[in-house]
Amino acid sequence: MPLLRKRLSQVFLKSGRNFAQEALGVCRLFRQRVNAGIGFLPDRISTQGFIVSSFRTLTVMTPDKRHLRAGIWELPEGTPKRAICVLLNGHTEFLEKYDEVGGELRARGFDVISLDWRGQGASERRSYGNRAGHVDNFEEYDFDLAALMLQIVEPFQRSLPAPIPVVALAHSMGAHVLLRYIHDHPRRFVYAALTVPMLDVNTGKYPPQQVSLVTALFNFRKPSTRFVFGVEERDPLDLTFEQNEVTSDRGRFERAQALLKEQPYLRIFGPTFGWLGAALNSMRRLRRKSYAEAIATPLLVFGAGRDTVVHVQAIRNFVRNLPKGRYVEIEESKHEILMENDAIRARFWSEFDAFINQQLGIDQQLSR
C-alpha cells in the first residue's frame, strides 16, 4: 500500500488542487494488491458518500512523457470473448462516466479498454489545479491513442490464448481522434462505431468566420492557454439539468454530476483558444472529401437530430464519402447518445448489435 499511495500522489498530483489528499483517501478503498505498481479497482464497492467504478486502472506513458490513466473492463474468466473494444470518450469526459457503457459492452462479449485523454479526467494536466482542456495540436491526442494501443491493447491481445479482433466505439472528440488514427493505420481496427464525430462545431451566435479569426489572433504567437470566452464561468458542478445541452435523461445527467462531486479533480471546465485552434485545423482536414475516401475500415456512424454541440450535416456529408460507411440518425437524441434516455439508447444498441453481428459474420466467413 505505501507504494500505491506514493504512485498515486506522483502521477495525479498535477490533476487538480488538493488531489494528493483525495487520492490517499481513495487508497483505503483499493484491494491490497499491486500490479506493477498500479492498483486494481474492485469489481464493485458500495461505500456511503463515495463512488467507485468497475474498471481496473493502469497508467500509460505517451511519447512526449505524459502520464495517462487507462481502464479495462475485463470479462470474467472463462467467458467467451468476441472482441476487444477500444472505448474513446469525448472532450471533458472521464472513465467513470462510461461505466454503464463499459458494462453493456462487456455483457455483449467484449473486453473493453479505454483512457482519459491528456488534460482531463485523472490523466496528467499541464499545470497544478488546471481546469482547462488544452493541446497545442491534435497530434498530441494521436500520441495518446497510439500509446494506449501499444502499451495496453496489443499486449492484452497477445496475452489471449486465441486471436480476437480489435474494434472501437468512440464519441465526439474521441471519434474525431479515432478517424485520424484509422486513416493512418487502416488495418488496426476491423470495424468501428462512432457517435456524433466532431467534424464541425456549433459556434452559436458567433459566425464561424469570426470565431476562426478571433481564434487565430489569440494563437498568433503560440497556442493560447486562455479559456474560450464564457468557459471559465461554467463549472460543471454548478450546471443544472435544465442548462445542459447534451442529454435529455435526468438520471444519467445527475449520475455524472454525482461522480464529479465525489471526485472533483476529474472535472475540467472546457477548451482553451489553443485547443479550439487545433480542433478547427484538424476538422478542416477531416472534412476534405479525399480524407473520408481513404478510410477503408467499415464504420457505423450515428448523428443526433437535436445536437447543438456539433453540426450533424457535416457528419452526413462525411459518411457519404466513406467507402464502407453507414449513417444512422437518431432524431430525438441530443449530443451524448450513450448518455441519453433508455428509448434512445435502445435504438443505438439495436443498430450497434446488428452492425457487429453482420461484421463478425463477415469476418468468420473470410477466416474459413
**Taken in order 64, 140, 271, 52, is the CA torsion positive or negative?**
negative
Q: Are 197 and 315 in contact (CB under 8 A)?
A: yes
C-alpha 348, offset from chain centre: 17
**How does pLDDT run across 247-257, given as a tens digit for each residue?**
999 999 999 99
For the domain spanning 49-367, the CATH number is 3.40.50.1820
The full set of domain ranges for the chain reads 49-367
**How does pLDDT run across 283-314, given as a tens digit for each residue?**
999 999 999 999 999 999 999 999 999 999 99
Output the pLDDT for position 54. Answer: 87
Output the pLDDT for position 364. Answer: 56
**How does pLDDT run across 164-195, given as a tens digit for each residue?**
999 999 999 999 999 999 999 999 999 999 99
Output the pLDDT for position 6. Answer: 42
* Close Cβ partners of 257 (under 8 Å, ≥ 6 residues apart): 236, 237, 239
Greater confidence (368 vs 36) lies with 368
| Least confident window among 45-49, 287-291, 348-352 | 45-49
Does residue 97 have a pLDDT over 90? yes
Does residue 263 have a pLDDT over 60? yes
Residue 226, SS3?
A: coil
CB atoms closer than 10 angstroms to residue 354: 13
**Taken in order 170, 175, 180, 182, is the CA torsion positive or negative?**
positive
**pTM listed for this prediction:** 0.86
**How does pLDDT run across 13-31, given as a tens digit for each residue?**
333 434 344 443 333 333 3
CA distances (Å), 245 to each of 48, 132, 133, 249, 330, in order? 30, 20, 19, 11, 16
Does residue 65 have a pLDDT over 70? yes
* Close Cβ partners of 118 (under 8 Å, ≥ 6 residues apart): 62, 66, 68, 124, 125, 135, 140, 141, 144
- Average pLDDT value for residue range 347-355: 98
- Average pLDDT value for residue range 104-115: 97
